Amino acid sequence: MMKPQRITVRYEGRVQGIGFRYTAVRLAQAHNLTGWVKNEPDGSVSLVAEGDEPRLMELLQAIHRSHLGKHITNEQVNRASATGEFNGFSVQH
C-alpha cells in the first residue's frame, strides 16, 4: 500500500468567479481524495489534497483538462506527507 501524500497547490490567473472551487471539490471527491479548496484575498485559489500519489496527479491533470485549465496562468505545487486530518473534501471559507 502506498503511503498517502499531501499536495498544497496555489492557482493563479482568472481562477475566482468561474466555479473553480466547486469543480475542484467534484473532481477531488471523484478521485477519493480528502482536503479543501478556498479563494484567497489576492485572487488566487489554494487547494490542499491528500491521498495516493497517482490519484493526486490525476486530480491535477483533471483540473487542467476541465474548463478551469484555460484560466490558470500559474500553478505552484508543494508536496509533503499526509496528516490524515481530513474526513472529506470541501470548500473552505
Predicted pLDDT at 38: 98
Taking 3-state DSSP, the helix, strand and coil percentages for the chain, each rounded to the nearest 5, stand at: 30, 40, 35
Catalytic residue among 10, 14, 21, 26: 21
Contact (CB, 8 A) for 81 and 52: no
Look at residue 80 and tell me whether its pLDDT is greater than 70. yes
Which domains are present in the chain? 5-43+56-81 (3.30.70.100)
Active site residue 10: no
Query: Which pLDDT score, from 0 to 100, does residue 56 have?
Result: 98
Share of the chain above pLDDT 70, in %: 99
Render pLDDT for 23-42 as a digit per residue (tens, 0 to 9): 999 999 999 999 999 999 99
Please name which of 50, 6, 2, 5 lies closest in space to residue 28, comparing C-alpha atoms.
50
Q: Is 74 a catalytic site residue? A: no
Give the SS3 label for residue 10.
strand
DSSP 70: G
Query: What integer best gives the mean pLDDT of the chain?
Result: 97
User: 14, 39, 55, 87: which one is catalytic?
Assistant: 39
Q: How many CA atoms lie within 13 A of 32 on its CB side?
A: 6
Q: Model confidence over 11-23: pLDDT tens digits?
A: 999 999 999 999 9
